[in-house]
Chains A and B, each alone.
Chain A
Amino acid sequence: MARSLRQLDYSVLQQCMHCGMCLPSCPTYDATRRERSSPRGRIALMRAVADGELAVSGVFAEEMSYCLGCLACQTACPAGVDYAQLIETARAEVLAKRPPTPSARLWRALTMRGLFLRPRLLRWAGRLLRLWQRGGLQAASRRTGLVRLLPADLRRLEPQCPFIAPRFSHQLIRPVERPRGEVRHRVALLTGCVQDLVFSAVNRDTADVLLANGCEVRTPPVQPCCGSLHAHNGETGPARELARRLIDLLPPESLDAIVSNAGGCGNHLRSYGKLLADDPAYAERARLWDSKLRDIHEWLAETGCRPPGAGLGPLTVTYHDSCHLAHGQKVVRQPRDLLRLIPGLRLVELPEANWCCGSAGIYSITQPAQSEALLRRKVGHIVATGADVLATSNPGCHLQIERGLAAAGSRIALIQPVTLLARAYRAEGASPEVSR
């Protein structure tokens, strides 16, 4: 993968014919009505940088950061522009040319080059965080005003920090689990980072749904981060290293599918071929990896998901598309079709279902105002549907929208589609279809 816009294959930039079809799909253009905050405007800036006609200025950096990376423009684009590659390259260039402030650098070192490269360490950090949250320290520090000693960024984030789960994925899922009947497929389950710390129960649900559909599920207890966080924020080196580690851990040759249940991770996970294209030792395996990578909904739909025999009672559900699932992976119909398989469940379409909720990776940290505005818009639409449940399938969207619904005083529950399916299978009868 190119590390600067000048190194990038110029035809990727040229592919944009600046027709403007992306404009109405872009949340930041919608907010500002300024061309430079639109996809084609940003591509024009990138091209000007590649041509040596524009410096990697503060405004350029700001505009690349203001982009949500939601990839709605890729859905709208008639010419098939690879915007994901463009924005990642532009951000890598910003990072190289405009070193971040010392405190931001420290944060990057601690998180992207520290925690998110070391899965065991990340889990320890998670346990500490849980201790803080549940041991009374968080409440005490809020009460005493001690939180005011935190740096501004952290202080803003502190109330947004999700509750860490009591047990992580490896404590809920065995390394190999077999379905009760015949093994139809052998698949690996990716447990993710945030998903592992916060939504390990969703990983358990995913495994259960796979088992109920005849899959032998392999879930290595310690899995490296997929590297999407790094790639989206210009940290190309660590992203490549993580991709290699994950390929080594789960050799694609031995599996029918590698299943991801987080939209953002999945989109990055299926672009390893591009990421490692110039690595002779891994290029070919990375392409094989991409061909086996499936989003959970996509995999279930493709292999013929068994309709649950029982329902969850009368339930009205609306569905929010995670950007990277819908625009990145083009998985749009499948989650809706799976929800409709559940007896008694009524699916109502959410207006602007595929408009970004403002979570967008670390966007809520880097661009809090725009993130909040998008969240309010999303919550407004959700509440107006009158649904009992909002289903969505990405940990970032889940946390963001759950927080937004709570702030709006809504009682709409947020449940991931795979959890709804798992509950329906569990409601079928006494014994789960699992032999552990």
Chain B
Amino acid sequence: MPLTESQLADLRTLVGPEHVLTSPEDLVAYGFDGTAALRQRPEAVVLPADTAQVAACVRLASEHGIPVVTRGSGTGLSGGSVPTPGSIVLCLVRMDRILAVDPANLTLRAQCGVITAAVDAEAARHGLFYPPDPGSMKVSTIGGNVAENSGGLRGLKYGVTRDYVMGLEVVMPDGRVVRLGNACVKDVAGYSMKDLFVGSEGTLGIITEVLLRLVPRPAARRTMLATYGRMEDAARTVSDIIAARIIPCTLEFLDRVTIGCVEDHARIGLPRDCEALLLMETDGHPAAVEDEARRMLEIARARGAREVRVAADEAEAARLATARRSAFSALARVRPTTILEDVTVPRDRLAEMVAAIAETAARHRLKVGTFGHMGDGNLHPTFLTDERDAEEMARVHAALEEIVDRALALGGTITGEHGVGLAKKAWLRRQVGDASHDLMRELKRALDPRGLLNPGKILD
């Protein structure tokens, strides 16, 4: 239902007329996020300046029963910030101040609209480190990262966004403002409410401020690149490294299709006939890094790596990382539509899952490149297709169903780091089961009884 003139006038009074956008051109531009093939124009886009304005907008929306979809930079990959029909988009990019860094307690407090890379850059000024590094970190907001519980390349050693959230300020669906958690490492006072909102995808409350945990910045880093004739050999290299009590910060792999696309695009001299490429990095104290790098090299060789290159310096490390960094770019250029998935399995089932994806793609006559995080079992099967070709899209969906079933059969998850949003909603019950799915629904109803915050995401 379109907003009435008086509702729009009220919004303009709350945030200032220039921060309420209603022209068709603006609504088109906020009608999508980073997810392929999902589009819906909102009724209005509102850009509040602070928590009080967010709360006031939510109260107004609640009074009139208008759905609210919260958004940061709109880089999500599961449709989490795609507007629902009849909704107002609350875009929080104006709330972009870093409020405080506390080097004694190793924390950083920031408004939700701060760009993730700026959080780490500020930490670096104090010799500190904010490890989560989702692929969009130069664009995405920290509020969006917390709402999606974003991952990144450093999952095995450093964990994900959740592991760095100590406290949150949240605007509830009725407009109340609550502060959850604090700077204490130990805090068992009541339910761990902040954890409820991490990864809630804007369906339970609107995160307006975050208190983050920082760690000391590692002093040294060593990068190496190995190629293999079999994916299992790369996977065994990773298991052996972990069994040798080494926790590398990066263990990234590319499959054969992806290697071929990278080579077509970047021409960096990768062997096209190898089945796997493994980028490994260890960081920490310089002496430990040297020792670990040497042992990782030995393990890679022992596990049958065809070639292992160790970077002598930062420049060479950057060159070695080129293959992994350009993986998605290389794939995205092949066909008009790129669908990036993120099924995840326990680490020891990864090679099996990669093989299953390749077999499924071949059977459905589809081009799928797989790359991802071998250290944490997070895969990114990337479908190279054309959304205008209905027949091919039907095959894509059939293949996706099979891949999801296989991942679940291996004890995995439908999404490791992109979230459920709209794109994976249909598979959630299959993964978590009826009882757990019902519990999620009850929780949503308890906190947002009228279903006004990001309705239709995660759950119907």
> Which residues of A are interface residues toward B (Cβ below 8 A)?
10-11, 14-15, 17-21, 23-24, 33-36, 38, 41, 44-45, 48, 53-55, 57, 59-60, 63, 78-80
Smallest CB separation, A410 vs chain B (Å): 29
Cβ contact of B25, chosen from A10, A14, A60, A80, cutoff 8 A? A60
* Contact status A20-B338, CB under 8 Å: no
Interchain residue pairs with CB less than 8 A apart (11): A10-B388, A11-B336, A14-B336, A14-B337, A20-B136, A23-B73, A33-B93, A33-B94, A44-B28, A57-B24, A59-B24
Among B127-160, those with CB < 8 Å from A are 136, 138-140
* Contact status A59-B34, CB under 8 Å: no
Cβ contact of A20, chosen from B24, B47, B75, B336, cutoff 8 A? B75
The yes or no answer to B402 lying at the interface (CB within 8 A) is no
Smallest CB separation, B155 vs chain A (Å): 21
Given contacts A36-B29, A53-B28, A63-B25, contact A79 B338 (CB under 8 A): yes
User: Could you say which residues of chain A place their CB within 8 Å of the CB of B25?
Assistant: 36, 45, 54, 57, 59-60, 63
Question: Which of B316-324, B325-333, B440-448 contacts the other chain?
Answer: B325-333
Given contacts A20-B136, A57-B25, contact A80 B94 (CB under 8 A): no
Cβ contact of B333, chosen from A18, A59, A63, A80, cutoff 8 A? A80
- Bound Cα distance from A79 to B29, whole angstroms: 19
- Bound Cα distance from A34 to B388, whole angstroms: 29
* Contact status A34-B329, CB under 8 Å: no
Smallest CB separation, B33 vs chain A (Å): 7
Smallest CB separation, A337 vs chain B (Å): 15
User: Which residue in chain B gives the minimum CB-CB distance to A23?
Assistant: B139
- Bound Cα distance from A59 to B22, whole angstroms: 12
User: Could you say which residues of chain B place their CB within 8 Å of the CB of A36?
Assistant: 25-26, 28-29
User: Could you say which residues of chain A place their CB within 8 Å of the CB of B293?
Assistant: none
User: Could you say which residues of chain B place their CB within 8 Å of the CB of A55?
Assistant: 24
The yes or no answer to B114 lying at the interface (CB within 8 A) is no
* Contact status A80-B30, CB under 8 Å: no
* Contact status B28-A45, CB under 8 Å: yes
Given contacts A17-B36, A19-B136, A20-B34, contact A45 B29 (CB under 8 A): yes
CB < 8 Å A-B pair total: 85
Given contacts A17-B338, A34-B21, contact A78 B26 (CB under 8 A): no
Q: What are the 5 closest A-B residue pairs judged by CB atoms, nearest first?
A: A35-B29, A41-B29, A78-B329, A79-B332, A14-B336
- Bound Cα distance from A216 to B119, whole angstroms: 55
* Contact status B75-A19, CB under 8 Å: yes
- Bound Cα distance from A101 to B299, whole angstroms: 72
Additional pairs, 14, CB under 8 Å, beyond known A11-B386, A78-B329: A10-B336, A17-B332, A17-B337, A20-B139, A23-B139, A24-B115, A24-B138, A35-B74, A36-B29, A44-B32, A45-B28, A59-B25, A78-B332, A80-B332
- Bound Cα distance from A15 to B74, whole angstroms: 18
* Contact status A80-B329, CB under 8 Å: yes
User: Could you say which residues of chain B place their CB within 8 Å of the CB of A78?
Assistant: 328-329, 332
The yes or no answer to B80 lying at the interface (CB within 8 A) is no
- Bound Cα distance from A11 to B75, whole angstroms: 21
User: Could you say which residues of chain B place their CB within 8 Å of the CB of A41?
Assistant: 29
* Contact status A19-B34, CB under 8 Å: yes
The yes or no answer to B23 lying at the interface (CB within 8 A) is yes
Given contacts A15-B336, A19-B75, contact A34 B26 (CB under 8 A): yes
- Bound Cα distance from A161 to B31, whole angstroms: 43
- Bound Cα distance from A80 to B333, whole angstroms: 6
User: Could you say which residues of chain A place their CB within 8 Å of the CB of B140?
Assistant: 20
* Contact status A48-B28, CB under 8 Å: yes
